[in-house]
Structure 1
């Protein structure tokens, strides 16, 4: 669409697109997709927006559960962001994950949607205990870029920016973006699609902060492992997912009004 003229936007994905880390289930989740929708609505006041994302979903589930409903909505713009939950699984297959993404890219672009996706940052710099899987991230990013190129999909290169690993852009669990992180992701997508008023300010570093000592850093890792990594591993061993029993928070295209600095999604349908 020229000059960002989008009248309908559908977001597909997992917890990052649902908005975890930006609000909560009590007050409601916002997230980069809601924030992007607000940017879009500021340019296109008649925008309608749907968010089909559900936390805990792997790429195959996003394809099987969300692609059909997304196609039925016939959006002008669609974001497809998934793969992180796959990266964390013991039996990760980058080719399989990329295959699910490519199938979604192919189907949505063939239906006339402008599709946008993201690359992922080096998780080893966000959570040092996750360093063993950073090669998976690099592999998946390479495959995402290749699949996107084959289908004319726009890639917001959040994975290549140094600021993407600043801890202030991540919530305490280090798996989900913080409100500032979600804001930067939305700005990255806005720039990638050349939305009027967007620029590269999202790539700029944050002000310097004091570097923790080795002892402080080690203590922070232990606290993170106890508070988040341990419970996450426990759920995996029990075959449980944070998304069990949940459905999309906004399954239909609904009008949206843009109010700077606030969650402006109207007709919001929260999951329980």
Structure 2
């Protein structure tokens, strides 16, 4: 599975919070806050500063424990690549910002500062109701205010279809998507349904009965279950609508 894959992990349990020490929960919350606000995981140094650990060795130990307990998936070849499993998403599904989001902002490394304008490539449009294979990246670049779209790697697509109307995402809207491999409960995401066919869709990611679903925001469309072949392409962070 590619870098954008959802890591399903294990089925969430009611007492999952009891499996974590206070420090492990703090590290998990720090990672969640970074992914929600920036679209990628914090460095071990940032985690240490945020949760009060002076040694990156201690941070690495807690990351290994979170992975062993089924809350994280880590890429051994990419030190900062941490993905929350379904168990972790169920535990941290509260969409309200945590204190760790503001604490983390105080420790963002200087080389991660972004300019005021983000130039976002507009790629081929895809139909949400009847998605088809995504084409190559287009040449048009859209200037988007960084304070609106945030940080991270961005791309834009033109919405086609009616399945997200009740979320105020309509046919013809230009969606700015922050490329990231995982998302939180109730995030609106662009997702690849099958790596071979290249079918893509925009839906709301939700957790229900221990499973992940791509939910429409219109009663006329059916939910799509997340399968092992499903991959998150990114989170929708802005909607541009021509008048």
Structure having the higher strand fraction is 2
Structure having the higher helix fraction is 1
TM-score category of the 2 structures, normalised to the smaller one? under 0.3
Q: TM-score, normalised by structure 2?
A: 0.27
Q: TM-score, normalised by structure 1?
A: 0.25
